Structure 1
């Protein structure tokens, strides 16, 4: 659609709006006023074509405000406005959610001692699992010793199938326990990183920062440096 056709349609919209206002039952004529993009203030007794893209105020004859006529939007402009409105609504929801999370965090941890107790409790399961695996590796070492002693009798010869199978099973069990230990070490690092990020946030909130004013915790932990060892973490 060319520019002249677009302008004709906009003027037609203005005339239709003017007719609607004239038929709304309000006493007296409406006075339309607006300010153009170049700063000119225009006034008329019907919607002003020069201000179809701008907000127009509708006044009563005594100069009091009756209503506001929104800009006439093209389909493209309307789609852009609706998209902007959706983004703004999503941002408002995200902000309210951030405020709620911060307030919940402060209620859960009213002070640093409470947060430290929660950290140690969260680390407890991983530490216990590591200790169990470490003890199991020691037991597997004890179980392996008689197998190695028996293997000495077959030095330079193939091991009997049963003995070889027992040694292989022992090796596999040790490897599995070592992998479990590595997994628990990684879990300890993850837990400490989460509590480090929470503590940094809580210290700001305790000091008076507004809930919801900081980036989400997920963004902080993505860039957080490796956690320093904390009490209760196995070495």
Structure 2
């Protein structure tokens, strides 16, 4: 009977202690998983808490593990205006990164298209030559119109040089020639502006390519092309 009573008491004690032991283990795990918030407030005091620190809402807070490892960093709480400014800065940074990436892509494409200075200069000359062809055609047309107008002026002399006294057909011819001449002259002016833009574009491309080309890319290029950039001119002096 004595042995049986002892066994009964042992089992009862085990049933009582088991939940307590489990609860102690659970508390130990909670303590292990606890996060520690730390910061330095506006007065220079180092603060520590088990939750975000209100006194440091306007500054950075570090979240540590019980072992002192930094788990994460919490930034300051921003006002709506500060948040909008931050988002704008981030947007501008993204745009700048995209522009830089596009510039790198453009630079690589230029080097592939123009592996040498000579190839770039040839395309410049060809582009300008095409503009000169259509510009010259327009100038020729202006000369033709001028000759036609001279003939009409001779007819107009019969009416004392007064177009109001001339027949409608003659007046219409004069008006048509004047209008066509005006159109051709505007076209010539536009082509001259296009020529300036083409020259500027090729000059900007060359300035960029001069930084990317290897020395061998300068070979076989006309001397005038090699010496047209300020950098190369100053290097000679």
The residue that corresponds to 2:187 in the other structure is 180
In the superposition, the TM-score normalised over structure 1's length comes to 0.62
Q: Residues 32 and 66 of structure 2 are in contact (CA less than 8 Å); yes or no, is this contact kept in structure 1?
A: no
Q: TM-score, with normalisation over the residues of structure 2?
A: 0.62
Q: Distance in 2 between matches of 1:132 and 1:45?
A: 84
Unaligned runs of 5+ in 1: 1-21, 209-235
CA contact (8 A) 2:38 2:62 kept: yes
Q: 1:41 to 1:167 in 2, by over 3 A?
A: same
CA RMSD for the aligned pairs? 3.4
Task: Name the SS of the counterpart of 1:115 in structure 2.
Answer: helix
Instruction: State the shift of 1:132 in Å.
Output: 0.9
Select which of 169, 189, 195 maps to 2:176. 169
Residue equivalent to 1:126 = 131
Show structure 2 runs of 5+ residues with no match.
1-26, 216-237
TM-superposition CA deviations, 1:158-195 (whole Å, max 9, x none): 44443444344334333332332222112212221222
Higher mean C-alpha displacement, 84-93 vs 163-172:
163-172
1:96 matched to 2:101: yes
Deviations 1:25-69 (A, max 9, x none): 683432322233454433334333322222222222222233333
**Separation in 2 of the partners of 1:64 and 1:107?**
50
User: Matched residue of 1:58: which SS?
Assistant: strand
Distance in structure 2 (CA, Å) of the matches to 1:183 and 1:169: 21
SS at match of 1:27: helix
Total equivalences in the alignment: 186
Matched, 1:82 2:87: yes
2:118 corresponds to:
113
Distance 1:29 1:124 in 2: 77
Secondary structure class of the residue paired with 1:73: coil
User: What is the alpha-carbon distance in structure 2 between the residues aligned to residue 66 and residue 156 of structure 1?
Assistant: 96
Change in Cα spacing, 1:25 to 1:155, as seen in structure 2 (3 Å) is same
Higher helix share: 2
CA offset digits 1:135-162 (Å, max 9, x no partner): 2233334444544454555557844443
SS of residue matched to 1:33: strand
Cα distance 1:145–1:66, how it changes in 2: closer, same or farther (>3 A)?
closer
